[in-house]
Amino acid sequence: MLALTRKVGERIVIGDNIVVTVVGMKGDNIRITIEAPKEIKIYRGEIFDAIAAENRQAAVSNDLAQLDMLKSLQIKK
């Protein structure tokens, strides 16, 4: 992890094509802009966490449904 101190108007460059710029500060809040290619998805942390949790839940539900389906099959000898 890298921790940086930036002033309004200063920026951080990530790789060749991502630029994070501090555009304002008000109390404890910092306003930033992020310039990145359209194919790079950018989420607020809490939204990303919610999406990840939903994906985990969907994967578990799907696996359990398949297991229940397999339990209902009877192997006849």
Over 80: is that where the pLDDT of 26 sits?
yes
| 13-49 core/surface letters (b: 16 or more CB in 10 A; e: else) | eeeeeeebbbeeeeeeeeeeeeeeeeeeeeeeeeeee
pLDDT value for 58: 77
pLDDT score at 9: 97
pLDDT at 16 > cutoff 90: yes
Sequence spans of domains, the chain: 1-42, 43-77
31-76 per-position pLDDT tens digit: 999 999 999 999 999 999 999 998 888 776 556 666 667 677 766 6
Q: Output DSSP code: residue 58.
A: H
Note the pLDDT of residue 59.
Answer: 73
